[in-house]
Structure 1
Amino acid sequence: MPLCSVAPKPENDGAELESGLPKKLETFDTACLAYPAQNNSQSFLQRTLFPISLKFKEIVYKVNNERKATCFGGTSNTKEKVILNGITGTVSPGEILAMLGPSGSGKTTLLTALGGRLSGNLSGKITYNGQPFSGSIRRRTGFVAQDDVLYPHLSVFETLLFTALLRLPKSLTREAKVQHVEHVIAELGLTRCRNSMIGGPLFRGISGGEKKRVSIGQEMLINPSLLLLDEPTSGLDSTTAQRIMNTVKGLASGGRTVITTIHQPSSRLYHMFDKVVLLSEGCPIYYGLASTALQYFSSIGFSTSIIVNPADLLLDLANGIGPDFQQAANHSDNIRQDPASVREILVSAYDKNISTRLKTELCSSDVIIYNYNKENSARDDLKFEKWCTTWWYQFHVLLLRGLRERRFEAFNRLRTFQVVSVAILGGLLWWQTPPSHIDDRIAMLSFFSVFWGFYPLYNAVFTFPQERNMLKKERSSGMYRLSSYYLARTIGDLPLELALPTTFTFIFYWMGGLKPDPATFIFSLLIVLLSVLVSQSLGLAFGAILMDVKQAATLASVTTLVFLIAGGYYVRQIPPFMVWLKYLSFSYYCYKLLLGIQYDENDYYECAYGVYCRVSDHPAIKSVGLDNLWMGISIMVLMMVGYRTGSINQKKPRVLADGLEEVSEWIKIKQVHIIKKRGALEEKNRVKLVKDKPAQDKPTLMDLLWMMWKMKKKKKCGGRNLDHTLKVIKPAEALNDKEHKVQPCLKTFQRLQLCVQRINLHKRLYISRAEKKQQRRMSILESVCARAESKTERCTIQSSASHKIAHFVAVGVQAGSVPKCELMHWPKA
């Protein structure tokens, strides 16, 4: 073959894979599977090993640089930065595609895009067996990030076991999942460190290579058909890197599609790759067989006179450093020393020799239709639900994992010493305070409310920001629901967070000489614990809203300062226009409740020698009052519920945004250009994804959620619900409800585009939720299409008391065998 041509597919790839037909799983060696042949687990894992041929064409990704402030307070506009620029390629089952390039060349960005995890201004076409990215592909994809995001206090076995319990389906028994974990540990060579802790920055655990193998093992548990690895050998020695790549090579030989980025591979590692994509500043300069890369660059004038590692030569070229030239006449020394000129030559050569042929091959293979025969119907009928396990099971596993992870964290010596020492020191300072020293007792109760009102807040602020990477990793893999994680996290913290304040109160209360009554002590303890829960809830909300440790800590400091001042002890007479601050402070309610438990309105204290005064007349107590205690408890409970609800709602949009991107990938919109010609409508369609639409025409997240909720309430899309449906999915200008007159459908193309886009979204949701009525809809749409062919432009909405018909330009892709037609008809009521 010519040196500049695209590398052909390996000979062992049969005609079935070329045509997109999945091979029988028995054709793959079961010894290469992550789980050997055993009982029901073997059946599941073999059925999930679904060969995936991945193709990507003209991938372009752009980001907007942040605007910089000017000297006069304005902002300077910046242009878009191109991260990926027209990258094309394909990889088949059993192959390893390596992405090479210097730092910042776009390797990780391209890998993230191929894994369906990249959002933003992404264009191009990525197909998996000829189909776009979907939930079933996500469940068959394993993604190993560059950084090993693992819980440090869990052992290797516990890490893999909890992953298996959450990611493997509920049809497998716990014993089968445990056995599967044992086989993965043995296959990855982790038996020696099976019971060793992962380790973290503060204490030593397993080695870096073992951590990387644990990360790979987490993805091997689901037996992925597509495995993506981001620099799996970074920071490892040559021998350890060789072992990891041997493992990856074994996975690929079992029928998996493997794509990896690698920074500086050795010569031995390079020869393990089947194909190579070489990137330079986001532009491809080579795609093809790894074994023919040197010959290709030699054919365009870039060769070396010494024997070097092929990867070293490729990286030098990607950095614009040209080796010795065979054709010195065509390449001067100035070009050799100018990196920009070298890159320009390489990009031009790629466009001339590789790009054209590659696009031709991809276009010729795109016309293949993927069909499955009856022999493979069992695997084709394997429906991937959104979640592998039930909500309760996820909550149980996450709660157990959280308790095991934090068993060394909550009761560490430093934290326990801090709480106990403060309690003892406070007890000594307020040692057996007599009832006559009411000011000292009030100060003691104020210290209770301040310390346990703000100490848990600062601890809770770090909860979500510290687990941000872990939550992002596991949620992107579809391991669990956000609600199950949040509830397990908060409930798992309760026994750990409430034990220390209980110890503190028990020591401080009796040493301080407060009211020696068991009932009073128990009520005081309950109020302190309630204050701890409210404070922790506020800290969780701050962390979830900002997701940044520094910003959350700053906000917490300002809030605690305001609550401290307005708590009722330091400032007793707050101006009327600022009095509302104290009602926002949970410290104020805690302080008031502690006073109400210790004192009654009819109690007296010795205010002078031989003189007794009413407790309720004391200035400090009078400013807060001793009444309406149950109202204070209710307000604190509402604060706790509100803060926790706010924290989960602040985390939800980030996760739902990922879900919106996934949904938008299967919602296709046709931009309709209406051209009036000879009294009829002509359509000129261009299929694009929703995320490629202009920002003003893109359905928002709230639109999607609102329509989903409406579909739960209204099972029908037309008929008697037509009037209500039109109000939901159309702009206000589309129908005049007050005047029942014939209105133009939409007067401008922008309004029409927005209207049909929302109608299509609503229609797709309706079709997907009413499969039993498929035949009835087909007959209706077929009759409408037949009538529409003989009609001229009927883009009007007719509204009357007895008859309502709406004709819209139909857009989108019909589900299944529903025919495509130009006009869409909603039957009358």
Structure 2
Amino acid sequence: PAMFPSFLKPKPAKQILHGLSGIFRTGMHAIMGSTGCGKSSLLDVLAHRKDHRGLSGHIFVDGSPPPSSFKYMVGYVVQDDIIFETLTVRENLMFSANIRLPRNVSHVERAERVAQIIFDLGLESCADTLIGTDFIRGVSGGERRRACIGMELVLAPKIFFLDEPTTGLDAATARKVMKCLSNLAKQGRTIIFSIHQPRYSIFKLFDTITLLSEGEMLYHGSAKNVLDYFSQQGYSCEPHDNPADFVIDVLIDAKENSVKMEKLKLAYESSSMNEYVINRRKQQFIDESFQIRTDRKSVKLKQFIWKEFYYVCLRTLKNTFRNPSLILSQIVVSIILGLLVGLVFFDLKKTTDPGVQNRLGVIFVIVVTQIFSTLTALEPLIKERALFIHENASGYYRTITFFCAKFLCDILLIRVIVSIIFSLIVYFMTGLERDIGKFGVFLITIFMASLFGSSMCLLVAATVRLFSVALIIVILIFLIMMLFSGFLIALKSVFSWLSWLQWVSAFRYATNILTMSEFRNIDFCLANSTNICPLPGPQVLINIGLDYRTNWDLWKNFLGLSIMTVGLFLLAYIQFRRIKKTK
């Protein structure tokens, strides 16, 4: 047989869940186990958030397979509190209501539903408080978690899935969140959640628990009977021990001892609990206490696309102007860079030496600073990627809606503002040719270069989920393009097999435009004379290898830069559509 290096060998498949069967009625249902036992995987499978490839088995709702729209009919709260941080609690809930509720629900009804959810979740005191960012003080951790729950409650789902709802919360806050879920269960909902090691006051709220170890089910039944069951298996809980801690200790003990694991597995398989599940699975009849009272045919998954676009645009605009890491930081960076470049290259003279060299230098620096300054947008884009994945998977909006709103109300808006600020500072401080036409070309070029940088950041953010990795990738691409701009090395001296890189260098197109525009009809005089001007601008262009005869020689660089920018935005859109929404 052929031999391959270890890193080329396919990763062996690992089965995470093994032949699980169970029934969840109305109430609080905890899925418990040690780390890596398959809790989150089971939850994702039940919620239709797991990639169906590699899965086998059946899930029944009301005794029949769930409809394709099932994941839009249930609530799903992820562990990481994915919610828009620059909106208030009420604004987040209203966004969910506006974009997810059926079209025939009036605005007044939506507002009333949101107000009721705020009351039910005990969020009245912070309803008009921002969720909060690293720079903006906001709601507490428990209030944030309940706001995430409220985002899903807008649909009034009968089935609710939550992944580790108490993670990261202190004991009192965790109990408050779980008590809130218990109240929702009493209203006729089925609440299914994974949880690690709850305190006893939380454990008492559970109706049933499902215990997993190494993907095997060792218990699926009443929470009240769990201690009696394990007592029959030879495990006794001390009088003052937390039952949740006790069962986790049992699972860990079984995990470390294959004989005990097999014994507990066989004990559950022969138990009355498992026998009841098997009998119910065979019968497959509808239990009136476990129905989603929704006409499946009437479920409307999508708003009109123009309505989606309106609400997503409105939210994006609020985020753009409220988030200091977006528009404010980029305006500050633009002002600082503009003043720095303006001071270093202040009032350039039209002399052969050093006027020509300084003008070429400032053009290169301007393009480099503008493109590299777009890196400030990379981290917010990475964060918003996670939000997009969650909301798109939950049926909030179409990909095209999110993408167009992001482009128009965030990227395009910010690029216009910072380009104007930077251009007004740099152009007149450096003393570039005072000509309205040339200033127009300068402004458009700065805007296009900035837009190109944003398109590259958006594409990488849509592809990579880690900011550190994305930053390295973008910087590396920018550096390669900068090397082939034609300013640092004569492109004719580059290896022929590398010369093609000049045609995909946005730095080259942008510097070519600004250089041709500045030098095409300007003369450079001797340093000690304003009458003797032996070096015309067109000759400078020839000397540095730029062929400028007609305006087309300038505009074809605009065309190249535009094609690259549009191409990257299209690739970014395709990548957003391709992002894997399942786990």
* TM-score, normalisation: structure 2: 0.89
* The 10-residue stretch of structure 1 (200-209 or 425-434) with the greater mean CA deviation from structure 2: 200-209
Q: CA deviation at 1:239?
A: 3.1
* The 10-residue stretch of structure 1 (615-624 or 431-440) with the greater mean CA deviation from structure 2: 615-624
User: Residues of 2 paired with 1:409 and 1:105: CA distance?
Assistant: 41
Match 2:78 to one of 125, 145, 165 = 145
Q: Could you say which residue in structure 1 is the equivalent of 2:572?
A: 647
Q: Are the aligned partners of 2:513 and 2:557 in contact in 1 as well (CA < 8 Å)?
A: yes
Map 1:387-536 to 2 at 5 A. 387=302, 389-407=303-321, 408-409=323-324, 415-436=330-351, 437-456=355-374, 458-493=375-410, 494-536=412-454
Code of the aligned partner of 2:306 = W
SS of 1:629's equivalent?
helix
1:352 correspondence with 2:274: no
Q: Are the aligned partners of 2:67 and 2:296 in contact in 1 as well (CA < 8 Å)?
A: no
Q: Are the aligned partners of 1:230 and 1:262 in contact in 2 as well (CA < 8 Å)?
A: yes
SS of 2:56's equivalent?
strand
User: Residues of 1 paired with 2:166 and 2:378: CA distance?
Assistant: 34
1:239 correspondence with 2:154: no
SS of 1:496's equivalent?
helix
Q: Could you say which residue in structure 1 is the equivalent of 2:503?
A: 583
* The 10-residue stretch of structure 1 (609-618 or 481-490) with the greater mean CA deviation from structure 2: 609-618
Q: CA deviation at 1:622?
A: 4.6
Q: Could you say which residue in structure 2 is the equivalent of 1:278?
A: 211
Match 1:103 to one of 13, 35, 54 = 35
SS of 2:18's equivalent?
strand
Code of the aligned partner of 2:517 = I
Q: Could you say which residue in structure 2 is the equivalent of 1:692?
A: none
Q: Could you say which residue in structure 1 is the equivalent of 2:463?
A: 545
Q: Are the aligned partners of 1:616 and 1:622 in contact in 2 as well (CA < 8 Å)?
A: no
Code of the aligned partner of 1:629 = L
User: Residues of 1 paired with 2:536 and 2:517: CA distance?
Assistant: 16
User: Residues of 2 paired with 1:309 and 1:603: CA distance?
Assistant: 85
The 1:178/1:236 distance shift into structure 2, 3 A limit, reads: same
Match 1:605 to one of 519, 524, 530 = 524
SS of 1:591's equivalent?
helix
The 1:287/1:410 distance shift into structure 2, 3 A limit, reads: closer
* The 10-residue stretch of structure 1 (98-107 or 264-273) with the greater mean CA deviation from structure 2: 264-273
SS of 2:55's equivalent?
strand
The 1:288/1:499 distance shift into structure 2, 3 A limit, reads: same
Q: Are the aligned partners of 2:330 and 2:418 in contact in 1 as well (CA < 8 Å)?
A: no
User: Residues of 2 paired with 1:574 and 1:542: CA distance?
Assistant: 31
Q: CA deviation at 1:463?
A: 4.9
User: Residues of 2 paired with 1:132 and 1:591: CA distance?
Assistant: 61
Q: Are the aligned partners of 2:385 and 2:461 in contact in 1 as well (CA < 8 Å)?
A: no
SS of 2:126's equivalent?
coil
SS of 1:171's equivalent?
coil
Q: Are the aligned partners of 1:286 and 1:354 in contact in 2 as well (CA < 8 Å)?
A: no
Q: CA deviation at 1:595?
A: 2.2
Q: CA deviation at 1:519?
A: 3.2
Bigger relative CO (Cα 8 Å, ≥ 6 apart): 2
User: Residues of 2 paired with 1:288 and 1:422: CA distance?
Assistant: 65
1:214 correspondence with 2:147: yes
User: Residues of 2 paired with 1:308 and 1:422: CA distance?
Assistant: 63
Q: Are the aligned partners of 2:72 and 2:301 in contact in 1 as well (CA < 8 Å)?
A: no
Code of the aligned partner of 2:501 = L
Q: Are the aligned partners of 1:89 and 1:358 in contact in 2 as well (CA < 8 Å)?
A: no
Q: Are the aligned partners of 1:116 and 1:133 in contact in 2 as well (CA < 8 Å)?
A: no
Q: CA deviation at 1:188?
A: 0.8
Task: Render the CA deviation track for 1:77-126: whole Å, top value 9, x for unaligned.
Answer: 7643332122211012x222211212222111111110000114222221
Q: CA deviation at 1:570?
A: 2.1
Q: CA deviation at 1:621?
A: 5.8
Code of the aligned partner of 1:428 = L
User: Residues of 1 paired with 2:545 and 2:201: CA distance?
Assistant: 79
Q: Could you say which residue in structure 2 is the equivalent of 1:84?
A: 17
* TM-score, normalisation: structure 1: 0.64
Task: Render the CA deviation track for 1:410-458: whole Å, top value 9, x for unaligned.
Answer: 56665444322222222122221122222211221222222213322x2
1:318 correspondence with 2:240: no
Map 1:53-202 to 2 at 5 A. 79-92=12-25, 94-119=26-51, 120-202=53-135
Task: Render the CA deviation track for 1:669-716: whole Å, top value 9, x for unaligned.
Answer: xxxxxxxxxxxxxxxxxxxxxxxxxxxxxxxxxxxxxxxxxxxxxxxx
Unaligned 5+ runs, structure 1: 1-68, 323-337, 662-829
- Quote the RMSD (CA, aligned, Å): 2.8
Unaligned 5+ runs, structure 2: none
Task: Render the CA deviation track for 1:252-294: whole Å, top value 9, x for unaligned.
Answer: 2222221122222232322222211111222111111112112
Identical-residue share of aligned pairs (%): 27
The 1:410/1:525 distance shift into structure 2, 3 A limit, reads: farther
1:594 correspondence with 2:527: no
Q: CA deviation at 1:233?
A: 2.1
Code of the aligned partner of 1:589 = Y
Q: Are the aligned partners of 1:604 and 1:614 in contact in 2 as well (CA < 8 Å)?
A: yes
Q: Are the aligned partners of 1:595 and 1:621 in contact in 2 as well (CA < 8 Å)?
A: no
Code of the aligned partner of 2:444 = L
Q: Are the aligned partners of 2:341 and 2:366 in contact in 1 as well (CA < 8 Å)?
A: no
Q: CA deviation at 1:594?
A: 1.3
Map 1:695-710 to 2 at 5 A. none
User: Residues of 2 paired with 1:298 and 1:442: CA distance?
Assistant: 84
Task: Render the CA deviation track for 1:294-330: whole Å, top value 9, x for unaligned.
Answer: 22222232224534332222122111179xxxxxxxx
* The 10-residue stretch of structure 1 (555-564 or 207-216) with the greater mean CA deviation from structure 2: 555-564
Give aligned pairs, total: 564
Code of the aligned partner of 2:37 = S
Q: Are the aligned partners of 2:102 and 2:300 in contact in 1 as well (CA < 8 Å)?
A: no
Code of the aligned partner of 1:635 = G
Task: Render the CA deviation track for 1:352-405: whole Å, top value 9, x for unaligned.
Answer: 224751353223322x3799xxxx9x9537522341x11111111111111212
Match 1:294 to one of 227, 243, 260 = 227
Greater helix content:
2
Q: Are the aligned partners of 1:102 and 1:280 in contact in 2 as well (CA < 8 Å)?
A: yes
